[in-house]
Amino acid sequence: MPWLPEAIWRRRIESEFSLMQQSGFSFAANVDKTSYEITLTLPGLEKTGSLVRRRDGHRVRILLKREFPYAGGIEVTWLTPIFHPNIRPGDGKVCIQLVNQWAEGQTVKQVVDALQHLLQHPNPYSPLNHEAADYFEDHPDALTAGEPPALKRPRIIA
């Protein structure tokens, strides 16, 4: 995997941090400015058992690896519980086209913009979480309706 020379990579990391500071997003970064924890305040869903409920606060980690800004140099992980077709249950890995088809000119701010869009517009046709995909196919207005409907569970007949 290609790497930028250290001095150029550091300038790029500083530039990303500066863009994030200007963005208005709520975030914290590590000292090296390679790990961001972003807070998104948008409606999403979380699931406990068969109960699906609305959650308006979300935390996401964006990690800029040494390969950044090249493909494979950015990792996005959802930190708070979420029930979403494009976020893998268990480890919170996020599937978004912007990261999967990364280009060197893209920015961390663009990733956060894409995460907001993903949160508001789940794609049940390209799922990492099949249960959530089925739920959003059955309830496409789950994020905009009042209280989200409960999960359908199979009936057990004895």
pLDDT in tens, 71-103: 889 999 999 999 999 999 999 999 777 677 788
Amino acid in position 54:
R
Report pTM: 0.89
pLDDT at 154: 58
Residue, of 148 and 4, whose pLDDT is higher = 4
Largest CA distance in the chain: 69
Band of pLDDT at residue 24, cut at 50, 70 and 90: very high
The CB density around residue 53, as the number of other CB atoms within 10 Å, is 12
Residue 114: its pLDDT value, please?
A: 93
CATH H-level, domain 6-138: superfamily: Ubiquitin Conjugating Enzyme (3.10.110.10)
What is the mean pLDDT of the segment spanning 24-34?
Answer: 98
Question: What SS3 class is residue 23?
Answer: helix
Q: What is the overall mean pLDDT for the chain? A: 91
| Confidence (pLDDT) at 127 | 93
Quote the pLDDT of residue 62: 98
Band (pLDDT 50/70/90 cuts) for residue 153 is: low
Average of pLDDT values for 12-37?
98
> Distance from CA of residue 157 to its chain's centroid?
39
**Reduced 3-state DSSP string for the chain:** CCCCCHHHHHHHHHHHHHHHHHHCCEEEECCCCCEEEEEEEEEEEEEECCEEEEEEEEEEEEEECCCCCCCCCEEEEECCCCCCCCECCCCCEECCHHHHCCCCCCCHHHHHHHHHHHHHCCCCCCCCCHHHHHHHHHCCCCCCCCCCCCCCCCCCCC
> Where are the chain's structural domains?
6-138
